[in-house]
Structure 1
Amino acid sequence: MTVQARIPNPAGLLPDAVKAINLLYKAAHSAGVPAGTLELVHLRASQINGCGACVDSGARSARKAGETEERLFAVAAWRETPYFTDAERAVLALAEAATRLADRADPVSDEVWAEAARHFDEKQLAAVVLWVATTNFFNRLNATTRQPAPQNWG
Protein backbone atom coordinates (compact mmCIF):
# COMPACT_ATOMS: atom_id res chain seq x y z
CA MET A 1 0.00 0.00 0.00
CA THR A 2 1.32 3.42 -0.93
CA VAL A 3 0.55 6.14 1.55
CA GLN A 4 0.04 9.59 0.12
CA ALA A 5 0.30 12.63 2.36
CA ARG A 6 -2.83 14.73 2.65
CA ILE A 7 -0.67 17.87 2.73
CA PRO A 8 3.06 18.42 3.08
CA ASN A 9 4.27 18.15 6.66
CA PRO A 10 2.54 20.96 8.59
CA ALA A 11 5.75 21.95 10.35
CA GLY A 12 7.36 22.57 6.98
CA LEU A 13 4.46 24.74 5.86
CA LEU A 14 4.82 27.06 8.84
CA PRO A 15 8.40 28.39 9.11
CA ASP A 16 7.98 29.52 12.72
CA ALA A 17 7.02 25.95 13.67
CA VAL A 18 10.34 24.65 12.30
CA LYS A 19 12.20 27.16 14.49
CA ALA A 20 10.25 26.06 17.57
CA ILE A 21 10.78 22.36 16.82
CA ASN A 22 14.51 22.91 16.38
CA LEU A 23 14.62 24.64 19.78
CA LEU A 24 12.77 21.71 21.40
CA TYR A 25 15.18 19.27 19.78
CA LYS A 26 18.20 21.26 20.95
CA ALA A 27 16.85 21.57 24.50
CA ALA A 28 16.06 17.87 24.83
CA HIS A 29 19.47 16.88 23.48
CA SER A 30 21.44 19.27 25.70
CA ALA A 31 20.79 17.77 29.13
CA GLY A 32 23.29 14.95 29.10
CA VAL A 33 21.03 12.04 28.20
CA PRO A 34 22.92 9.85 25.71
CA ALA A 35 21.74 10.49 22.15
CA GLY A 36 21.17 6.76 21.63
CA THR A 37 18.88 6.63 24.64
CA LEU A 38 16.79 9.51 23.31
CA GLU A 39 16.61 7.80 19.94
CA LEU A 40 15.35 4.58 21.56
CA VAL A 41 12.68 6.60 23.39
CA HIS A 42 11.66 8.26 20.12
CA LEU A 43 11.51 4.92 18.33
CA ARG A 44 9.44 3.22 21.04
CA ALA A 45 6.87 6.03 21.31
CA SER A 46 6.61 6.13 17.52
CA GLN A 47 6.04 2.36 17.39
CA ILE A 48 3.22 2.67 19.93
CA ASN A 49 1.61 5.48 17.91
CA GLY A 50 2.02 3.67 14.59
CA CYS A 51 3.89 6.54 12.97
CA GLY A 52 5.71 4.95 10.04
CA ALA A 53 7.62 8.10 9.16
CA CYS A 54 8.92 8.48 12.73
CA VAL A 55 9.71 4.77 13.14
CA ASP A 56 11.74 5.01 9.95
CA SER A 57 13.54 8.22 10.91
CA GLY A 58 13.97 7.03 14.49
CA ALA A 59 15.65 3.79 13.45
CA ARG A 60 17.94 5.68 11.06
CA SER A 61 18.85 8.26 13.72
CA ALA A 62 19.47 5.54 16.28
CA ARG A 63 21.85 3.81 13.88
CA LYS A 64 23.71 7.08 13.39
CA ALA A 65 23.93 7.38 17.18
CA GLY A 66 25.63 3.97 17.29
CA GLU A 67 22.71 1.63 17.96
CA THR A 68 23.03 -1.92 16.70
CA GLU A 69 20.51 -3.74 14.53
CA GLU A 70 20.01 -6.26 17.34
CA ARG A 71 18.88 -3.57 19.78
CA LEU A 72 16.76 -1.75 17.17
CA PHE A 73 14.92 -4.95 16.30
CA ALA A 74 14.25 -5.56 19.99
CA VAL A 75 12.96 -2.12 21.06
CA ALA A 76 9.31 -3.18 20.80
CA ALA A 77 10.07 -6.13 23.11
CA TRP A 78 12.59 -4.41 25.39
CA ARG A 79 11.20 -6.08 28.54
CA GLU A 80 11.81 -9.57 27.14
CA THR A 81 15.35 -9.05 25.84
CA PRO A 82 18.72 -8.68 27.57
CA TYR A 83 19.97 -5.88 25.31
CA PHE A 84 19.06 -2.80 27.36
CA THR A 85 20.57 -1.28 30.48
CA ASP A 86 18.54 -0.59 33.59
CA ALA A 87 18.63 3.13 32.76
CA GLU A 88 17.35 2.51 29.22
CA ARG A 89 14.61 0.24 30.55
CA ALA A 90 13.56 2.95 32.99
CA VAL A 91 13.17 5.61 30.29
CA LEU A 92 11.52 3.19 27.88
CA ALA A 93 8.93 2.46 30.58
CA LEU A 94 8.52 6.20 31.16
CA ALA A 95 8.16 6.82 27.42
CA GLU A 96 5.51 4.12 27.11
CA ALA A 97 3.55 5.44 30.10
CA ALA A 98 3.71 9.05 28.90
CA THR A 99 2.64 8.00 25.41
CA ARG A 100 -0.30 5.90 26.60
CA LEU A 101 -1.89 8.53 28.84
CA ALA A 102 -5.47 7.38 28.30
CA ASP A 103 -4.80 3.74 29.17
CA ARG A 104 -5.00 4.14 32.96
CA ALA A 105 -6.14 6.57 35.65
CA ASP A 106 -2.55 7.19 36.83
CA PRO A 107 -0.72 7.11 33.50
CA VAL A 108 2.79 7.59 34.87
CA SER A 109 2.90 5.70 38.14
CA ASP A 110 5.15 6.67 41.02
CA GLU A 111 7.04 3.42 40.45
CA VAL A 112 7.79 4.22 36.81
CA TRP A 113 8.86 7.75 37.72
CA ALA A 114 10.99 6.64 40.69
CA GLU A 115 12.83 4.08 38.57
CA ALA A 116 13.67 6.70 35.95
CA ALA A 117 14.72 9.12 38.71
CA ARG A 118 17.17 6.49 40.05
CA HIS A 119 19.12 6.78 36.80
CA PHE A 120 18.69 10.39 35.69
CA ASP A 121 18.84 13.75 37.43
CA GLU A 122 16.03 16.33 37.20
CA LYS A 123 17.48 18.07 34.15
CA GLN A 124 17.86 14.77 32.33
CA LEU A 125 14.34 13.70 33.32
CA ALA A 126 13.05 17.00 32.01
CA ALA A 127 14.83 16.29 28.71
CA VAL A 128 13.34 12.80 28.48
CA VAL A 129 9.82 14.07 29.22
CA LEU A 130 10.26 16.90 26.70
CA TRP A 131 11.55 14.43 24.11
CA VAL A 132 8.64 12.03 24.65
CA ALA A 133 6.21 14.93 24.29
CA THR A 134 8.01 16.15 21.16
CA THR A 135 7.94 12.65 19.69
CA ASN A 136 4.22 12.36 20.36
CA PHE A 137 3.80 15.79 18.73
CA PHE A 138 5.64 14.56 15.61
CA ASN A 139 3.61 11.32 15.60
CA ARG A 140 0.34 13.22 15.70
CA LEU A 141 1.36 15.60 12.91
CA ASN A 142 2.45 12.71 10.72
CA ALA A 143 -0.49 10.40 11.44
CA THR A 144 -3.08 13.13 10.94
CA THR A 145 -1.65 14.20 7.60
CA ARG A 146 -0.55 10.67 6.57
CA GLN A 147 3.11 11.48 6.14
CA PRO A 148 4.72 8.41 4.56
CA ALA A 149 8.00 6.81 5.44
CA PRO A 150 10.51 7.16 2.60
CA GLN A 151 10.01 4.54 -0.12
CA ASN A 152 13.63 4.41 -1.21
CA TRP A 153 16.31 3.50 1.26
CA GLY A 154 19.54 5.10 0.27
Structure 2
Amino acid sequence: MDMRFADPMKAMPGMYEAIQPILKVIHQGGVPRKTLELVHLRGSQINGCSFCVNMGVEQLKQQGETDERLATVAAWAEAPYFTEAERAALELAEVATRLADHSGQAVPDEVWNAAAKHYDERQLGSLVLMIGLTNFFNRVNATVQIPAGTPMPA
Protein backbone atom coordinates (compact mmCIF):
# COMPACT_ATOMS: atom_id res chain seq x y z
CA MET A 1 0.00 0.00 0.00
CA ASP A 2 1.43 3.34 -1.01
CA MET A 3 1.03 6.50 1.03
CA ARG A 4 -1.30 8.84 -0.84
CA PHE A 5 0.73 11.98 -0.08
CA ALA A 6 4.44 12.21 -0.76
CA ASP A 7 4.71 14.34 2.37
CA PRO A 8 1.60 14.38 4.60
CA MET A 9 2.97 17.30 6.63
CA LYS A 10 3.12 19.47 3.50
CA ALA A 11 -0.31 18.32 2.36
CA MET A 12 -1.86 19.03 5.78
CA PRO A 13 0.25 21.92 7.11
CA GLY A 14 -0.28 22.86 10.72
CA MET A 15 -2.47 19.87 11.61
CA TYR A 16 -0.14 18.39 14.23
CA GLU A 17 0.61 21.81 15.69
CA ALA A 18 -3.12 22.49 15.97
CA ILE A 19 -3.63 19.24 17.87
CA GLN A 20 -0.93 19.92 20.49
CA PRO A 21 -3.18 22.08 22.74
CA ILE A 22 -5.79 19.29 22.80
CA LEU A 23 -3.12 16.74 23.75
CA LYS A 24 -1.96 19.06 26.52
CA VAL A 25 -5.50 19.25 27.91
CA ILE A 26 -5.86 15.46 27.70
CA HIS A 27 -2.62 14.84 29.58
CA GLN A 28 -3.48 17.39 32.27
CA GLY A 29 -6.75 15.64 33.11
CA GLY A 30 -5.37 13.30 35.74
CA VAL A 31 -5.67 9.99 33.87
CA PRO A 32 -2.49 7.89 34.01
CA ARG A 33 -0.53 8.21 30.78
CA LYS A 34 -0.48 4.42 30.31
CA THR A 35 -4.26 4.33 30.49
CA LEU A 36 -4.56 7.06 27.87
CA GLU A 37 -2.13 5.18 25.63
CA LEU A 38 -4.03 1.90 26.13
CA VAL A 39 -7.24 3.70 25.10
CA HIS A 40 -5.45 5.09 22.03
CA LEU A 41 -4.09 1.66 21.14
CA ARG A 42 -7.47 -0.07 21.50
CA GLY A 43 -9.30 2.49 19.39
CA SER A 44 -6.59 2.26 16.74
CA GLN A 45 -6.85 -1.53 16.70
CA ILE A 46 -10.60 -1.33 16.16
CA ASN A 47 -10.19 1.19 13.34
CA GLY A 48 -7.35 -0.72 11.68
CA CYS A 49 -4.91 2.20 11.70
CA SER A 50 -1.52 0.50 11.40
CA PHE A 51 0.37 3.74 11.93
CA CYS A 52 -1.44 4.48 15.22
CA VAL A 53 -1.26 0.87 16.44
CA ASN A 54 2.47 0.81 15.81
CA MET A 55 2.95 4.22 17.45
CA GLY A 56 0.79 3.22 20.42
CA VAL A 57 2.79 0.07 21.04
CA GLU A 58 6.07 1.97 20.77
CA GLN A 59 4.92 4.66 23.20
CA LEU A 60 3.69 2.07 25.70
CA LYS A 61 6.98 0.17 25.44
CA GLN A 62 8.84 3.41 26.21
CA GLN A 63 6.75 3.66 29.38
CA GLY A 64 7.77 0.13 30.42
CA GLU A 65 4.59 -1.65 29.39
CA THR A 66 4.80 -5.45 29.54
CA ASP A 67 4.63 -7.75 26.54
CA GLU A 68 1.70 -9.62 28.12
CA ARG A 69 -0.42 -6.48 28.34
CA LEU A 70 0.56 -5.25 24.88
CA ALA A 71 -0.27 -8.64 23.38
CA THR A 72 -3.71 -8.76 25.00
CA VAL A 73 -5.09 -5.22 24.63
CA ALA A 74 -7.41 -6.47 21.88
CA ALA A 75 -8.71 -9.14 24.30
CA TRP A 76 -8.62 -7.01 27.47
CA ALA A 77 -11.98 -8.32 28.73
CA GLU A 78 -10.63 -11.87 28.97
CA ALA A 79 -7.03 -11.03 29.94
CA PRO A 80 -6.03 -10.92 33.63
CA TYR A 81 -3.49 -8.11 33.18
CA PHE A 82 -5.66 -4.99 33.41
CA THR A 83 -7.01 -3.13 36.42
CA GLU A 84 -10.72 -2.49 36.84
CA ALA A 85 -10.13 1.20 36.04
CA GLU A 86 -8.25 0.30 32.84
CA ARG A 87 -11.02 -2.13 31.87
CA ALA A 88 -13.62 0.61 32.30
CA ALA A 89 -11.55 2.99 30.15
CA LEU A 90 -11.01 0.33 27.47
CA GLU A 91 -14.72 -0.51 27.38
CA LEU A 92 -15.58 3.18 27.04
CA ALA A 93 -13.05 3.45 24.20
CA GLU A 94 -14.53 0.44 22.39
CA VAL A 95 -18.13 1.57 22.68
CA ALA A 96 -17.38 5.19 21.77
CA THR A 97 -15.28 4.08 18.79
CA ARG A 98 -18.02 1.73 17.53
CA LEU A 99 -20.88 4.24 17.67
CA ALA A 100 -22.50 2.89 14.52
CA ASP A 101 -22.76 -0.58 16.08
CA HIS A 102 -25.35 0.56 18.62
CA SER A 103 -29.03 1.31 18.39
CA GLY A 104 -30.47 3.67 20.94
CA GLN A 105 -27.98 5.25 23.30
CA ALA A 106 -24.58 5.57 21.59
CA VAL A 107 -22.70 5.02 24.85
CA PRO A 108 -24.97 3.07 27.22
CA ASP A 109 -25.34 4.32 30.78
CA GLU A 110 -23.85 1.11 32.18
CA VAL A 111 -20.60 1.71 30.24
CA TRP A 112 -20.44 5.37 31.27
CA ASN A 113 -21.29 4.56 34.89
CA ALA A 114 -18.61 1.86 35.05
CA ALA A 115 -16.03 4.42 33.94
CA ALA A 116 -17.44 7.02 36.35
CA LYS A 117 -16.75 4.62 39.25
CA HIS A 118 -13.02 5.01 38.55
CA TYR A 119 -12.68 8.47 37.05
CA ASP A 120 -13.96 11.89 38.10
CA GLU A 121 -15.52 14.29 35.58
CA ARG A 122 -12.22 15.88 34.59
CA GLN A 123 -10.66 12.47 34.02
CA LEU A 124 -13.70 11.32 32.05
CA GLY A 125 -13.31 14.44 29.94
CA SER A 126 -9.70 13.46 29.22
CA LEU A 127 -10.74 9.95 28.25
CA VAL A 128 -13.50 11.23 25.95
CA LEU A 129 -11.08 13.66 24.30
CA MET A 130 -8.44 10.92 23.87
CA ILE A 131 -11.01 8.61 22.30
CA GLY A 132 -12.19 11.36 19.94
CA LEU A 133 -8.66 12.42 19.01
CA THR A 134 -7.65 8.80 18.42
CA ASN A 135 -10.58 8.33 16.07
CA PHE A 136 -9.67 11.56 14.28
CA PHE A 137 -6.07 10.45 13.75
CA ASN A 138 -7.17 6.94 12.75
CA ARG A 139 -9.42 8.30 10.05
CA VAL A 140 -6.85 10.75 8.70
CA ASN A 141 -4.03 8.19 8.68
CA ALA A 142 -6.12 5.37 7.23
CA THR A 143 -7.53 7.63 4.50
CA VAL A 144 -4.13 8.83 3.32
CA GLN A 145 -2.59 5.39 3.99
CA ILE A 146 0.22 6.42 6.33
CA PRO A 147 1.89 3.07 7.03
CA ALA A 148 3.18 1.72 10.32
CA GLY A 149 6.71 2.87 11.04
CA THR A 150 6.43 6.24 9.30
CA PRO A 151 8.34 8.76 11.45
CA MET A 152 6.27 11.21 13.49
CA PRO A 153 6.68 14.90 12.70
CA ALA A 154 9.26 16.65 14.84
Is the TM-score greater than 0.5? yes
Equivalenced residue count is 150
Q: 1:89 and 2:90 equivalent?
A: no
SS in 2 for 1:79: coil
Give how far 1:11 is off. Answer: 5.5
**Distance in 1 of aligned mates of 2:52 and 2:135:** 10
Give how far 1:13 is off. Answer: 3.4
**Distance in 1 of aligned mates of 2:29 and 2:95:** 21
**Distance in 1 of aligned mates of 2:107 and 2:7:** 30
Q: 1:29 and 2:27 equivalent?
A: yes
Q: 1:113 and 2:121 equivalent?
A: no
The residue aligned with 2:57 is 59
**Distance in 1 of aligned mates of 2:108 and 2:7:** 34
Give how far 1:9 is off. Answer: 6.3
Give how far 1:65 is off. Answer: 2.0
Q: Would the aligned equivalents of 1:38 and 1:128 in 2 still touch at CA under 8 Å?
A: yes
Task: Give the 4+ runs in structure 1 shifted more than 4 A.
Answer: 8-12
SS in 1 for 2:76: helix
**Distance in 2 of aligned mates of 1:12 and 1:116:** 39
**Distance in 1 of aligned mates of 2:114 and 2:147:** 35
**Distance in 2 of aligned mates of 1:12 and 1:58:** 24
User: Matched residues, percent identical?
Assistant: 54
Relative to the length of structure 1, the TM-score reads 0.91
Q: Would the aligned equivalents of 2:5 and 2:11 in 1 still touch at CA under 8 Å?
A: no
Structure 1 gap ranges (5+): none
The residue aligned with 2:130 is 131
Q: Would the aligned equivalents of 1:8 and 1:147 in 2 still touch at CA under 8 Å?
A: no
What root-mean-square deviation, in Å, do the aligned CA atoms of Structure 1 and Structure 2 show?
A: 1.7
The residue aligned with 2:70 is 72
Relative to structure 1, is the Cα distance of residues 16 and 150 closer, same or farther in structure 2, using a 3 angstrom cutoff? closer
Relative to the length of structure 2, the TM-score reads 0.91
Letter in 2 for 1:41: V
Q: Would the aligned equivalents of 1:9 and 1:147 in 2 still touch at CA under 8 Å?
A: no
**Distance in 2 of aligned mates of 1:151 and 1:101:** 29
**Distance in 2 of aligned mates of 1:124 and 1:151:** 31
